Amino acid sequence: MRTLLCLTLFYFTALPPVSAQESTLDTSRGDTMIAKYFAQQTSAIEDRWLAGIETKEDWLRQREIHLTQLKDMLGLNPFPQKTPLNAVITGTTKHESFRVENIHFQSRPGLYVTGNLYVPHEVDNKLPAILYVCGHGQVKINGVAYGAKAHYQHHGAWFARNGYVCLTIDTLQLGEIEGIHHGTYRYDKWWWLNRGYTPAGVEAWNCIRALDYLQSRPEVDGDRLGVTGRSGGGAYSWWIAALDERIKVAVPVAGTTDLRNHVVDGTVEGHCDCMFMVNTYQWDYPLVAALVAPRPLLLSNTDNDRIFPLDGVYRTFRKVSQVYDLLDASDKFSLHITSGPHKDTQELRVHAFRWFNYYLKDGKTDLLRNQADKLFEPTDLKVFDKLPTDQVNTEISESFVPTAAAPAVVTSQNELAQITKSLKQSLLEKSFAAWPQNPVTLQPQRVSDSYAEGLVMSVYVFQSQAAIPLNLYVVHDKKLTQAKVCELTVLDQNGWNDFLSLYRDAFGDRDALRGEHFVAQDASSEDHFEKLQQRLLKNSVMMAYVAPRGVGPTIWDQAKKKQVQHQRRFYLLGESLESMQVWDVRRAIQAVTTVTGHNNETKTTLQATGRMAGVSLYATLFQNGVAELHLTHLPSSHRDGPYFFNVSRICDIPQIALAVASQTPLFLYDVDDDGFQHTTDSARHMNWQQPRLVITTNK
């Protein structure tokens, strides 16, 4: 049986790759399906808003849980140690009414934060202080970065001219040391999901340490701290105000909208990764703002902002208002809308100033007379003459969130059973929390039977989720009454193309594959089909094939941008594409058992290649009914996929391979020579005998 399975794998790995032009693919079915799915998932999250919370006491109890979850989703759980700031003032520039100190501090060793501190000349008593967090306003001259603080300098100056100390800090990406905000947006760093990493977490942590610095200054009243910022800075204002109650007043400007705007309306496509937490607990974004309650909070926006649309801002306001109402603090929450696009306008700033004056200066409502002007050259505000060699800013994604410790060799089956139980529980909580708690009925429906060359191909449609119908293709001898083995193959896009090439001559003009897009057929496909045909006619074997969502019949727009942004939509919904493909494979295993009428005499085996091998490995961990698992080119690390939320904080692929092999015979072909050392060492210590675990390396 193992030989036959290997032969089947050969059919799908030995065929030459077939290219398909994006322009010739009909993606309408997949585009419609995924749009409907995103809308349904968004609505489901929206419907959970304040579920079970009816009183002030309900909210206060739940708030602590939410706060811990937010820290977790920003990579701040456990909360990092506060190491010495090692703050340094590298220069000072004077204005007639205030001075500007160019400073840097280290929020963690080697994680440098550059900023400008604006301090009024006249400081009779300790002053209230504002943390101003910058948006994406780059200042770069002749290849030299001066930081976003140079672009947003007028804010600090205006605060200082109106009696505040103001610390304006650079962002990770647009500081004098240039890090990365666009990991998934631009650089295919999907392994950030595995790490539970988002640059939003770095920005939040830098803000927390900036408050530490402000409280260390003799000019500052540490009990009167506020935060504001625009665009990206508006988002960071959310994080810090929610996380740190030292913030007494917050005014996020043009940094606030809800999940519907991002996922359904597509504003995610205008935002980098720093705007989003790793949404493990499937939040809608008003919940972040609600954590600020009952402290004074002003949401500020323009009415024609294309990346923070007014309808989503207003929905956010209405939802957060419910929490302020519960806490009898309705007067401390307000919405400010002015006319204009996504732009830093004076009208937005005036109301913010009056809000701060009222709550940080004992109800002061004086008119503002000084304008917000840019008064300095970028060179005046630069911190570093030479960038520090010990900086970790550019690679902070590699270390900001700790990964799981290297596992020890497992020495007993009982120990492995306990480890497997713990791993599954952690994965369900942190990586696969978006799996349906109440799955829809599978409802496999046979939609066609096609006969050719003594074989029959039956096509079934089953429901993986409410908006995700998938096809299951089953091929066998038309005279077969009882299969000994049903071999289920999980297809990636290359595998789908090979599947069509293999069966197109026999079934292409019949109902089974009618309407599917065919790629150019390779001349060797005929030989492969004849070999497969003879095998199916002479053995009690049944072949089944499934293409998870986004592959084959449900493929959606293949443009690079759309592929990236759809994956990011999954991310915002608390999922990854591949975590939901694991769910699809689980459902396919169930569907095979249902539609073929298997009894105890029939074995279902599962096989896949590449990243789908990783998807199938996890599906087998969580789904009973697989008699053997055959995987080719399984990655040895999640760094190479598949990508699941937080998985690298829990385990890596070799541990899962060991856990799966303990319950299902596992055959790995052409894997990295050293990548599965933990798996093989543990199997040897437990005296496992083949065929529980068979590994063929790619040497």
pLDDT digits (tens, 9 = 90+) for 48-60: 999 999 999 999 9
Domain assignment present for residue 406? The answer is no
Instruction: Identify whether residues 483 and 520 lie together within a single domain.
Output: yes
Domain assignment present for residue 62? The answer is no
Instruction: Identify whether residues 34 and 117 lie together within a single domain.
Output: no
Instruction: Quote the CA–CA distance of 307 and 64 in Å, as a whole number.
Output: 31
**Residue numbers of the domain that contains 140:** 76-398
Residue 540: pLDDT over 90: no
Tell me, rounded to whole angstroms, the distance of Cα 554 from its chain centroid. 22
pLDDT at position 224 is 98
Of 398, 420, 439, the one marking the end of a domain is 398
Q: Is 17 exposed, middle or buried (0-12, 13-18, 19+ CB in 10 A)?
A: exposed
Domain assignment present for residue 197? The answer is yes
Is residue 258 within 8 A of residue 316, CB to CB? The reply is yes
Instruction: Identify whether residues 32 and 115 lie together within a single domain.
Output: no
Domain assignment present for residue 182? The answer is yes
- Which is more confident, 140 or 539? 140
pLDDT at position 530 is 84
Domain assignment present for residue 49? The answer is no
Instruction: Identify whether residues 28 and 137 lie together within a single domain.
Output: no
Identity of the residue numbered 673: D
Domain assignment present for residue 356? The answer is yes
Q: Give bridge partners of residue 138 from the DSSP assignment.
A: none
Of 398, 430, 446, the one marking the end of a domain is 398
pLDDT at position 369 is 67
Instruction: Identify whether residues 335 and 192 lie together within a single domain.
Output: yes
Q: How confident is the model at residue 534 (pLDDT cuts 50, 70, 90)?
A: confident
pLDDT at position 365 is 74
Is residue 297 within 8 A of residue 250, CB to CB? The reply is yes
Q: How confident is the model at residue 581 (pLDDT cuts 50, 70, 90)?
A: very high
3-state helix, strand, coil in the chain (%, to 5): 40, 20, 40
Q: Is 77 exposed, middle or buried (0-12, 13-18, 19+ CB in 10 A)?
A: middle
Residue 403 contacts by C-beta under 8 Å, 6 or more apart in sequence? 195, 648, 649
pLDDT at position 128 is 97
Residue 598: pLDDT over 60: no
Q: Angle CA(614)–CA(620)–CA(623) in degrees, nearest 5?
A: 140
Instruction: Identify whether residues 268 and 140 lie together within a single domain.
Output: yes
Residue 111, helix vs strand vs coil = strand
pLDDT at position 668 is 97
pLDDT at position 509 is 58
Instruction: Quote the CA–CA distance of 177 and 200 in Å, as a whole number.
Output: 17
Residue 566, helix vs strand vs coil = helix
Residue 326 contacts by C-beta under 8 Å, 6 or more apart in sequence? 53, 55, 56, 59
CATH number at residue 650: 3.40.50.1820
pLDDT at position 21 is 35
* DSSP-derived pairing of the beta strands 297-302 and 333-338: parallel
Instruction: Identify whether residues 390 and 517 lie together within a single domain.
Output: no
Domain assignment present for residue 53? The answer is no
Instruction: Identify whether residues 452 and 589 lie together within a single domain.
Output: yes
Residue 344: pLDDT over 50: yes
Q: How many domains does the chain have?
A: 2
Q: CA dihedral defined by 638, 643, 646, 652, rounded to 10 degrees? A: -20
Pick the range with the lowest mean pLDDT from 129-133, 496-500, 613-617, 658-662: 496-500
Instruction: Quote the CA–CA distance of 451 and 457 in Å, as a whole number.
Output: 7
Q: Residue range 425-447: average pLDDT?
A: 96
Domain assignment present for residue 405? The answer is no
Q: Residue range 209-234: average pLDDT?
A: 97
First-last CA distance in the chain: 25
Instruction: Identify whether residues 549 and 692 lie together within a single domain.
Output: yes
pLDDT digits (tens, 9 = 90+) for 633-659: 999 999 999 999 999 999 999 999 999
Q: How confident is the model at residue 519 (pLDDT cuts 50, 70, 90)?
A: very low
Instruction: Identify whether residues 352 and 455 lie together within a single domain.
Output: no
Q: Is the pTM of this model over 0.95?
A: no
Residue 663: pLDDT over 50: yes
Instruction: Identify whether residues 234 and 318 lie together within a single domain.
Output: yes
Residue 512: pLDDT over 80: no
Instruction: Identify whether residues 219 and 334 lie together within a single domain.
Output: yes
Q: Residue range 189-217: average pLDDT?
A: 98
- Which is more confident, 148 or 510? 148
Pull the structure tokens for residue 618.
């996890």
pLDDT at position 367 is 66
Which residue bears the tokens 């789904």? Answer: 623
